[in-house]
């Protein structure tokens, strides 16, 4: 069996988000052992400047979906103590991607992004959950996609 058949994808797009707006995506991690999440910022006019792509870029976790229950994951807080440096846009034609890789052992059930871009634009998040304990293949709906194609060998 192809081990990636037992994965799930979650995605969210905030198109034309104002620089005061918040992009948020909640991921239910129940039963999975690893989460890899990309937060993608569209190319911005401020490319190459000292400005970061976001005012806020972080992950939070909670055992419930109640907004007030979420707490920051220290290592996943851009600009925060113990966190990471939010990147500056490299050029006006390239998107900027921040990758978060989490080990979900002993983690809270829900993980969410909290992103406020520095300039108006699109923010897109896509998460891939893996390490499902039963490791059974799933259909497209269970994987969180419209179509699932498995290629176990290449000809």
Backbone angle region of 29, left / alpha / beta, with phi > 0 → left and psi within -120 to 50 → alpha = alpha
Using one digit for the tens of pLDDT, what is the confidence trace for 111-139? Answer: 999 999 888 888 999 999 988 766 565 78
Q: Is residue 118 part of a domain?
A: yes
Cβ density class 43-74: b for 16+ within 10 Å, e for less: bbeebeeeebbbbbbbbbbbeeeeeeebeebe
146, part of any domain:
no
Look at residue 151 and tell me if it is in a domain.
Answer: no
Residue 39 lies in a domain: yes
Task: Read off the pTM.
Answer: 0.84
Average pLDDT along the chain: 84
Nearest residue to 113 via CA among 143, 88, 76, 80 = 76
Phi and psi, residue 4, nearest 5°: -80, 0
pLDDT band, residue 95 (cuts 50/70/90): confident
Per-residue model confidence as pLDDT tens digits over 144-153: 888 877 666 5
Number of domains in the chain: 1
Residue 149 lies in a domain: no
Residue 140: inside a domain: no
CATH number at residue 62: 2.60.120.380
User: Could you tell me if residue 141 is inside a domain?
Assistant: no
Per the structure, the complete domain to which residue 27 belongs is given by 3-134
Give a yes or no: residue 150 inside a domain: no
Question: Phi/psi class of residue 68: alpha, beta or left (left: φ > 0; alpha: ψ in -120 to 50)?
Answer: alpha
> Cα separations (Å) of 155 from 2, 63, 149, 151, 152?
16, 45, 15, 10, 10
Looking at per-residue confidence, does 150 or 82 come out higher? 82
């Amino acid at each position: 069996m192809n081990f990636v058949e037992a994965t799930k994808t979650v995605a969210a797009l905030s198109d034309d988000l104002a620089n005061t707006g918040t992009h948020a995506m909640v991921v239910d991690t129940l039963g999975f052992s690893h989460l890899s999440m990309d937060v993608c910022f569209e190319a911005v006019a401020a490319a190459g400047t000292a400005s970061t792509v976001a005012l806020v870029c972080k992950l939070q976790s909670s055992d419930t979906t109640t907004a007030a229950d979420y707490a920051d994951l220290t290592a996943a807080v851009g600009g925060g103590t113990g966190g990471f440096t939010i990147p500056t846009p490299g050029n006006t034609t390239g998107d900027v991607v921040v990758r978060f890789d989490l080990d979900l052992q002993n983690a809270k059930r829900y993980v969410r992004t909290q992103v406020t871009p520095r300039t108006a634009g699109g923010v897109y998040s896509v998460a891939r959950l893996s390490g499902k304990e039963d490791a059974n293949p799933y259909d497209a709906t269970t994987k969180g996609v419209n179509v699932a194609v498995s290629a176990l060998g290449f000809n």
